């Protein structure tokens, strides 16, 4: 992680040197020299990180580099902090400047000496690097290194799958049969079949069961299984292929095989495979660069040859491998019942029917749950528990100390090595982003936007001329997901995955590495009283607010608290003055209702989240947070933002809406008032959600970097200016406009055209007619019409049905007296349809061919709808149908005995009816 520390510091220094807002006069020259020294050892650090496991001296050297980078960062930030604390505005500020001048001179002198000393240390460290022959170490890294041990372990696991008995495998029959069907298919071209999933998910086992089947053995002329280690060369793989194909025919293997070059090896394979039908497995592929060179050695003679690739990377799985196409199979986690069966087969293998004793079942299932359906982890954990005494006390001890066992117990080494390989394969910038996610409690789903904003505040995202940090963050997140290091839910394909999290075992790995590298530490509040704080980032779980945190916190750059039990204001009053160099402060859902004035002293703060707290107002000192990039006060009691907010010229994300009251109401969202000249925030990209006024309506056009804007309290007289302003916002992709009340008319005809990249449109308010530009929303993927109350002769369905990108459509009280809602054609990409609050609606009709990709159908608060929609049988991809406050006739038509509509809905996997009882929202399953 030394490479990460140095790279982040270099980026931070470059930002300082290039932005005049940073007062570094007098030490600029020394800071530049430190940057040059760090850059001079940059390439050496990269090699040292790879080799540190082989040599204790190199490992110590790497730690020294990391620590000196941290020390340089501290000195520079301390200087900026003290200079900032002496700055005052106006005439009083000029007088104070005269008073502080001697202090500033002394501070510059002292800081310059410190930086000179650090520069000397970096030079000494660079000289010591010459003691280590890293080129030799790297060349020999295939022998004896941890990386090699992990790779060998994974290769052994993959190849051992070929010898696992069928009765030891559970839960993969259906996928195996589908895989066999692809292998035996009639497509003449060579086909590449990819099996993708996270490490340990059973990819190799699945493929091995198909590969060793009798059917495959009879249908193919020859076969080969080749494991692909991370450090293998193309020549190595070609030699393995030849050896596998000629297994049992040793006399045909060239005696000089080991000395052959690439061209000779390819010629042998092409000649041998000519006109033969073959099947090849490449197990655990790490990048698709190998295909360009190895693909030419596997001829496509149109005789139904097959190649299978297992990989952890979605991009490799989906790569276009040739005219035969690519078939992608995903290795999914085991269902709970299968996972429990697999665990019992291992833990109780000596018991009759592998039966778990009743007294161990509860704790046993809790242990299995931590594996989240990962077969390798389940088998390893089953083996560990099978070696323990069969007492609830012993098993609970393991459950409560599972993190220690994953790091230290040899019986779980296989799991650790498999996961460690995924981490080691990451470039340094993704390692930071991956490790950062363990700051959140295990199992917690994390908002993708929240995560990217925090990465940006930490300095993990490298900005360049063509991409801003947020766009870089989306690329990083996509790559981590494609490598199957994150689990994902609720995709928003037009922006990013909405929620993501680490697998529980990946979280344990991230925590272990983070604490070892002083990257991030996780404490309970009780532990924080006793432990010395060494990490740069601190996450405190299970906060009761009753303890004071001891120790030196001045070096902490990032602080989060989770799981609040009591009021925490006293704790906050104690902490803030000790966090003078803080970059990230996250207090989501903290039980606090006010903030101390000292908040304004956190000059280095980039990210401040108070979401879900009881905060009623921001302190006036907030205007001093001049480096702040994100201010999140969603779901708070803040109704008015102070005028000083407009002085935060680096602010990029202003998330400021009140607590929502439910989608069945007109005012289902609420904005906040902004005092002052909001349009001065020229770097703002997200404005979510503020009340409009005449000045905002007229001048938001000056905020040309806006990508998302949500305006509430819009009066009819503002409409013309708002339309004119929106026309000027060429980067806008998300728009919400809400009228002042349900009777005000939403007039948006003056909008000349929707911005080309607009992706999401939410219109809240009464509309007399469908805007003429609706049919030109070619890139809109999400359209929400709320309380539109359109008259009978103004139906938007016809013009939006042909929108080529529309995936989500929400209609809430969209019509005044609509009795029939008919979808006749189009909606070719629609996946989610939400119909709500149509009190007169009696019939919904789907004609054949409409909405072929619809997955979810929601029908809420339509009391006169007595029957299921006509043509429901045409929605062949429908997986969920959710009802809310449905009529008893509609419910009976779905689940009543002898119901004539049962055949229409019987194929839908999930049908739920939501209703309220005693003030609590519950649901009943109808499927």
- Mean pLDDT for the stretch of residues 689-699: 95
- pLDDT of 901 reads 75
- Residues 887-903, mean pLDDT to the nearest whole number: 79
H or E element, residue 799? helix 797-800
Nearest CA to 204 out of 331, 63, 115, 389 is that of: 331
* pLDDT for res 90: 47
Lowest-confidence pick of 25-34, 310-319, 532-541: 25-34
pLDDT at residue 257 tops 70: yes
The length of the chain, given as a count of residues: 927
The whole-number pLDDT of residue 309 equals 95
- Give tens-digit pLDDT for 638-654: 999 999 999 999 999 99
Report the range out of 123-127, 129-133, 702-706 with the highest average pLDDT: 702-706
One DSSP character per residue, 693-750 reads -HHHHHHGGG-TT-SEEEEEEE-GGGHHHHHHHHHH-TT--EEEEEESSTTSB---TT
Q: Extract the runs of DSSP E, i.e. beta strands, from 656-707.
A: 673-674, 686-691
What pLDDT is stored for residue 144 in this prediction?
39
pLDDT digits over 715-762, tens only? Answer: 999 999 999 999 999 999 999 999 999 999 999 988 876 666 799 999
C-alpha torsion angle, residues 370, 372, 373, 378 (rounded to 10): -20
5: left (phi over 0), alpha (psi -120 to 50) or beta: alpha
**Mean pLDDT value of segment 5-24:** 70
Task: Quote the tokens at residue 792.
Answer: 């009978």
pLDDT at 93: 47
Q: What is the DSSP letter of 600?
A: G
| pLDDT-wise least confident of 141-155, 409-423, 496-510, 839-853 | 141-155
Q: How far apart are CA 140 and CA 52, in angstroms?
A: 13
**What pLDDT sits at residue 424?**
87
Ranking 122-126, 185-189, 922-926 by mean pLDDT, the lowest is 122-126
Mean pLDDT of 184-210: 91
Of residues 495 and 450, more confidently modeled: 450
Q: Which residues of 537-561 are buried (b: 16+ CB within 10 A; e: fewer)?
A: bbbbbebbbeeebeeebebbbbbbb
Per-residue pLDDT, averaged over 83-88, amounts to 64
Q: What is the mean pLDDT of residues 341-365?
A: 91
* Mean pLDDT score, 116-123: 86
Please spell the DSSP secondary structure of 202-213, one letter per residue: SHHHHHHHHHTS
Q: Taking all residues of the chain, what is their mean pLDDT, rounded to a whole number?
A: 85
Quick check: 379 pLDDT over 80?
Answer: yes
The CA-based dihedral angle spanning residues 484, 487, 489, 495, taken in that order and rounded to the nearest 10 degrees: -50
3-state secondary structure 370-386: HHCCCHHHHHHHHHHHH
pLDDT per position as a tens digit, 609-618: 999 999 999 9
Distances (CA, A) of 438 to 197, 505, 519, 539, 541: 21, 11, 11, 9, 12
Q: How many degrees, rounded to 5, is the angle at CA 103 between CA 101 and CA 106?
A: 110
pLDDT (average), residues 242-269 = 88
3-state DSSP assignment of residue 20: coil
**Mean pLDDT in residue range 769-773:** 90
Q: Based on the number of CB atoms within 10 Å of its own CB, is 278 exposed (0-12), middle (13-18) or buried (19 or more)? A: buried
- Give SS3 for 623: helix
Q: Residue 7: what pLDDT?
A: 78
What is the three-class DSSP state of 354?
A: helix
| Whole-number pLDDT of residue 24 | 57
Distance of CA 791 to the CA centre of its chain: 42
Q: Which of 46-50, 231-235, 531-535, 556-560 has the highest mean pLDDT?
A: 556-560
Task: Please say whether the beta carbons of 590 and 567 come within 8 A.
Answer: no
Question: Residue 320: CA atoms inside 13 Å, Cβ hemisphere, count?
Answer: 2
Q: Rounded to two decimals, what is the model's pTM?
A: 0.88
C-alpha–C-alpha distance, residues 120 and 632, integer Å: 42
Alpha carbon distance 201, 198 (integer Å): 6
Q: What value does the mean pLDDT take over residues 44-52?
A: 68
Q: Report strand pairing: 920-925 vs 910-917.
A: antiparallel
Asked if the model's pLDDT at residue 490 lies above 70, the reply is: no
Per-residue model confidence (pLDDT) at position 92:
46
Query: Residue range 859-870: average pLDDT?
Result: 94
Q: Has residue 373 got a pLDDT over 80?
A: yes
Contact between 437 and 464 (Cβ < 8 Å): no
Exposed, middle or buried by CB within 10 Å (0-12, 13-18, 19+), for 750? middle
Helix (H) or strand (E) holding 574, with range, is helix 569-575
Closest C-alpha among 293, 322, 292 to residue 307: 322
Return the minimum-mean-pLDDT range out of 113-122, 230-239, 409-418, 567-576: 567-576
Q: Which residue has the higher pLDDT, 350 or 178?
A: 178
């Amino acid at each position: 992680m030394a490479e990460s520390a140095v790279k982040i510091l270099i980026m931070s220094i470059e930002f300082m040197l290039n932005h005049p807002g940073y007062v570094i006069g007098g030490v600029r020259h020394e800071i530049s020299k430190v940057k040059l020294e760090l850059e001079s050892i940059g390439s050496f650090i990269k090699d040292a990180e790879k080799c540190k496991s082989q040599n204790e001296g190199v490992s110590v050297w790497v730690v020294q580099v990391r620590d000196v980078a941290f020390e340089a960062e501290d000195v520079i930030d301390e200087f900026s902090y003290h200079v900032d604390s002496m700055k005052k505005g106006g005439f009083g500020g000029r007088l104070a400047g005269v008073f502080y001048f001697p202090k500033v001179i002394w501070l510059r002198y002292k800081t310059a000496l410190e930086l000179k000393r650090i520069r000397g240390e970096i030079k000494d460290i660079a000289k010591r690097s010459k003691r280590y022959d890293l080129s030799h170490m790297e060349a020999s890294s295939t022998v004896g290194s941890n990386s090699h041990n992990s790779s060998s372990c994974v290769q052994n696991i993959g190849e051992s799958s070929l010898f696992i008995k069928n009765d030891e495998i559970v839960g993969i029959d259906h996928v195996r049969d589908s895989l066999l069907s692809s292998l035996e298919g009639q497509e003449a071209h060579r086909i590449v079949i990819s099996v993708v999933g996270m490490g340990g998910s059973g990819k190799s086992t699945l493929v091995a069961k198909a590969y060793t089947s009798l059917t495959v053995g009879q249908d193919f002329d020859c076969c080969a299984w080749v494991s692909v280690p991370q450090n293998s060369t193309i020549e190595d793989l070609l030699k393995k292929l030849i050896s596998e194909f000629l297994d049992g025919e040793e006399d045909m293997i060239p005696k000089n095989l080991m000395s052959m070059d690439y061209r000779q090896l390819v010629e042998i394979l092409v000649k041998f495979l000519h006109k033969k039908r073959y099947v090849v497995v490449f197990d655990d592929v790490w990048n698709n660069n190998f295909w360009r060179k190895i693909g030419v050695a596997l001829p496509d003679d149109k005789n139904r040859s097959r190649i299978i690739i297992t990989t952890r990377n979605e991009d490799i799985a989906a790569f276009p491998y040739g005219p035969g196409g690519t078939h992608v199979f995903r290795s999914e986690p085991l269902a709970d019942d299968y996972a429990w069966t697999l665990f019992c087969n291992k833990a109780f293998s000596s018991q009759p029917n592998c039966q778990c004793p009743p007294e161990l079942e509860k704790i046993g299932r809790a242990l299995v749950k931590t594996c989240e359906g990962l077969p390798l982890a389940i088998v390893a954990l089953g083996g560990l528990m099978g070696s323990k005494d069969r007492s609830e006390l012993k098993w609970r001890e393991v459950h409560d100390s599972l993190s220690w066992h994953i790091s230290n117990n040899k019986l779980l080494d296989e799991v650790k090595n498999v996961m460690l390989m995924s981490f080691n394969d990451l470039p340094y910038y993704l390692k930071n982003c991956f490790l950062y996610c363990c700051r959140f409690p295990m199992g917690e789903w994390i908002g993708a936007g929240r995560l990217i904003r925090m990465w940006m505040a930490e300095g993990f995202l490298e900005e360049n001329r063509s991409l801003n940090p947020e766009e870089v963050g989306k690329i990083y997140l996509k790559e981590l997901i494609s490598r199957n290091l994150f689990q994902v839910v609720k995709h928003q394909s037009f922006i990013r995955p909405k929620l993501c999290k680490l697998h529980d075992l990946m979280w344990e790995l991230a925590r272990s590495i983070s604490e070892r590298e002083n990257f991030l530490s996780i404490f309970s509040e009780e532990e924080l009283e006793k432990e010395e704080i060494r990490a740069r980032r601190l996450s405190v779980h299970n906060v009761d607010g009753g303890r004071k945190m001891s120790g030196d916190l001045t070096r902490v750059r990032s602080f989060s608290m989770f799981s609040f039990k009591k009021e925490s204001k006293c704790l906050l009053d104690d902490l803030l003055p000790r966090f003078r160099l803080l970059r990230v402060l996250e207090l989501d859902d903290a039980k606090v209702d006010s903030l101390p004035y000292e908040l304004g002293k956190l000059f280095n703060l980039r990210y401040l989240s108070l979401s879900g707290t009881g905060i009623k107002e921001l302190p006036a000192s907030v205007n001093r947070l001049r480096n702040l990039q994100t201010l999140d006060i969603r779901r708070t009691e803040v109704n008015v933002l102070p005028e000083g907010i407009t002085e935060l010229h680096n602010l990029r994300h202003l998330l400021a809406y009140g607590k929502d009251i439910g989608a069945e109401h007109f005012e289902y969202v609420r904005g906040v008032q902004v005092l002052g000249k909001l349009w001065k925030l020229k770097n703002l990209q997200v404005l979510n959600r503020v009340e409009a006024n005449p000045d905002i309506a007229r001048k938001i056009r000056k905020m040309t970097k806006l990508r998302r804007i949500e305006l509430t309290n819009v009066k009819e007289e503002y409409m013309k200016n708002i339309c004119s302003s929106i026309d000027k916002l060429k980067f806008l992709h998300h728009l919400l406009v809400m009228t002042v009340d349900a009777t005000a008319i939403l007039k948006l005809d003056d909008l000349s055209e929707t911005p080309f990249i607009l992706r999401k449109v939410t219109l809240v308010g009464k509309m007399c007619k469908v805007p003429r530009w609706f049919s030109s929303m070619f890139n809109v993927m999400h359209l929400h019409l709320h309380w539109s109350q359109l008259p009978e002769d103004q139906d938007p369905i016809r013009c939006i049905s042909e929108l080529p990108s529309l995936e989500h459509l929400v209609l809430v009280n969209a019509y005044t007296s609509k009795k029939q809602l008919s979808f006749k054609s189009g909606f070719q990409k629609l996946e989610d349809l939400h119909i709500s609050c149509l009190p007169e609606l009696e019939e919904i009709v789907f004609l054949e061919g409409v909405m072929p990709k619809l997955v979810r159908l929601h029908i809420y608060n339509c009391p006169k709808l007595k029957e299921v929609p006509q043509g429901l049988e045409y929605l062949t991809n429908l997986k969920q149908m959710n009802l809310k406050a449905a009529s008893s006739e509609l419910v009976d038509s779905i689940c009543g005995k002898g119901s004539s509509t049962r055949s229409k809905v019987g194929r839908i996997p999930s049908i739920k009816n939501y209703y309220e009882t005693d003030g609590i929202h519950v649901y009943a399953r109808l499927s």
